[in-house]
C-alpha cells in the first residue's frame, strides 16, 4: 500500500510506528548516506580532473590494468576524503537503532567505512572497503591497516605487493567483479527474514545490490525508502520519504 497523499509529517509518524513494531530490521545504504559527511555521492563525485571519467569506467579491473597510476590516484584522493570525513547523524542513528532491536542487519554499498566508525556492528560491506588494499594477484589477503597507512601515504606510484611484487589494489568490488559470496548471501537472507526493510541514499541502479530490496518486498517485508529524489524503487515501496538521511533518520527513529 502506498501513502501518496500523506505529507512528510504523516509519513514520518507512520515510519515511527513501523520502527516501534519491527523486531527484525534490515537496512541497505548507498552513497547518499555519506553525502552529509562531505563525501560526494558515487554519481556526483566526478568533479575537477575526474569529471572527464565516468566512475563506472574507472572502477574496473580493465581500467586498472590499462592505467594503474590513474586508477590508484583516484582511489588515493577518495581515501583522503574518507579520512577527513566523520560519520553524520544518519550513520549514528542507524547504529543506535541496532542497539534497540533483537535483529538488525546493515548492508552497505559504500566503501568509506563510516558505518563501522559510527558503531554499527552487524555490518555487511558488500562492495568492500577503500581503506583496505590487497594484492592484485590475490596472493595475500588484506594488508593490516597500519601497513596500508605506510603503503598508501608513501606511494605516489602504485605500491607493490610485499609478497609477490604484483600491484596492490583497493580492496573494493569493481564493476564486472563478483561480490563477496558470503556477504551477499547474508544480505539476501536478511532481506528475506526482515519485518521492516529500509533503503537509504541509494539510486538502486547497481546490481545485484539493487535486487536486495526487491527480495525484501517479495518476502513480505514492509519496505521504506529515504531519498531526496525519486528512484526506481519509489513506486514499488510501501513508503517513500523525500528527504536526507541526516535529517530524516534521527526523526523516524525518535532520536532527534
Ligand atoms: C556483478 C565499489 C557479477 C567500487 C561499486 C544485473 C545483474 C548483475 C550485474 C549487473 C546487472 N546489470 C548490470 C550489471 C553490471 C554491474 C552494474 O550493476 N552496473 C550498473 C552501472 C548498471 N554490476 C556489477 O558489475 C557488479 N558485479 O554483478 O558481478 C558479474 C560478473 C561479470 C559480469 C557481469 C556480472 C559489481 C557492482 C559493484 C561495483 N562497485 N563500488 C568503488 O566504489 O570505487 S558500486 C558503486 O555504486 C558504489 O559502491 C555505490 O555505492 C554504488 C551504487 O550507487 P549508490 O550508492 O546508489 O550511489 P549513487 O551516487 O548512484 O546514488 C546516491 C543516491 O543518494 C541518489 O539516489 C541520491 O538521490 C541520494 N542522496 C543524495 N544525497 C543524499 C541522498 N540520500 C540521502 N541523504 C542524502 N543527503
Phi/psi at 154 (5° precision): -80, -20
Q: Tell me whether the CATH fold assigned to 1-39+87-127+179-256 matches the one assigned to 41-84+132-172.
A: no
With a cut of 50, say whether residue 230 has pLDDT above it. Answer: yes
Q: Is 152 in the pocket of ligand 1 (CB under 6 A)?
A: no
Report pLDDT digits (tens) over 21-69: 999 999 999 999 999 999 988 777 677 667 788 888 899 999 999 999 9
Ligand 1 test: best mutation among 75, 81, 169, 175, most atoms within 8 Å of CB?
175
Residue 209 alpha carbon to ligand 1 centre in Å: 7
Q: Is 208 in the pocket of ligand 1 (CB under 6 A)?
A: yes
**CATH class of domain segment(s) 41-84+132-172:** alpha beta
CATH architecture of 1-39+87-127+179-256: 3-Layer(aba) Sandwich (3.40)
Q: Is 110 in the pocket of ligand 1 (CB under 6 A)?
A: yes
**Among this protein's residues, is 115 annotated catalytic?**
no
Q: Ligand 1: which residue has its CA nearest to atom 34?
A: 176
Is 24 in a helix, a strand, or coil? strand
Q: Ligand 1: which residue has its CA nearest to atom 3?
A: 178
Retrieve residue 226's grid coordinates: 529515504
Q: Is 42 in the pocket of ligand 1 (CB under 6 A)?
A: yes
Average pLDDT, the chain: 90
The domain segmentation of the chain, as residue ranges, is 1-39+87-127+179-256, 41-84+132-172
Q: State which of 8-17, 127-136, 151-160, 241-250 shows the largest mean pLDDT.
A: 241-250
Phi/psi at 201 (5° precision): 65, 35
Report pLDDT digits (tens) over 137-189: 887 655 555 566 666 665 578 888 878 888 989 999 999 999 999 999 999 99
Give the whole-angstrom CA distance, residue 201 versus residue 76. Answer: 24
Is 255 in a helix, a strand, or coil? coil
209 HSE (CA, 13 A, CB side): 28
Amino acid at each position: 500500500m502506498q501513502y501518496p497523499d500523506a505529507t512528510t509529517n504523516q509519513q514520518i509518524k507512520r515510519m515511527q510506528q513501523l520502527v516501534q513494531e519491527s523486531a527484525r530490521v534490515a537496512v541497505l545504504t548507498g552513497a547518499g548516506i555519506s553525502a552529509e559527511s562531505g563525501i560526494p555521492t558515487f554519481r556526483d563525485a566526478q568533479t575537477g580532473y575526474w569529471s572527464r571519467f565516468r566512475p563506472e569506467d574507472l572502477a574496473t579491473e580493465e581500467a586498472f590494468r590499462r592505467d594503474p597510476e590513474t586508477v590508484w590516484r583516484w582511489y588515493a584522493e577518495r581515501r583522503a576524503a574518507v579520512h577527513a570525513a566523520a560519520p553524520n547523524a544518519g550513520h549514528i542513528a542507524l547504529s543506535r537503532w541496532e542497539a534497540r532491536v533483537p535483529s538488525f542487519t546493515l548492508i552497505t554499498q559504500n566503501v568509506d567505512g563510516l558505518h563501522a566508525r559510527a558503531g554499527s556492528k552487524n555490518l555487511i560491506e558488500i562492495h568492500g572497503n577503500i581503506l583496505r588494499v590487497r594484492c592484485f594477484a590475490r596472493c595475500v589477503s588484506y594488508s593490516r591497516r597500519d601497513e596500508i597507512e605506510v603503503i598508501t601515504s608513501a606511494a605516489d606510484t602504485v605500491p607493490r605487493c610485499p609478497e609477490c611484487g604484483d600491484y596492490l589494489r583497493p580492496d573494493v568490488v569493481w564493476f564486472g567483479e563478483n561480490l563477496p559470496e558470503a556477504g551477499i548471501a547474508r544480505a539476501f537472507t536478511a532481506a528475506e527474514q526482515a519485518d521492516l526493510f529500509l533503503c537509504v541514499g541509494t539510486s538502486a541502479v547497481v546490481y545485484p545490490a539493487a535486487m536486495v530490496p526487491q527480495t525484501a518486498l517479495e518476502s513480505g517485508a514492509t519496505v521504506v525508502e529515504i531519498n531526496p529524489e525519486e528512484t526506481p524503487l519509489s513506486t514499488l515501496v510501501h513508503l517513500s520519504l523525500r528527504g536526507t538521511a541526516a535529517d530524516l533518520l534521527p526523526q523516524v527513529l525518535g532520536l532527534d
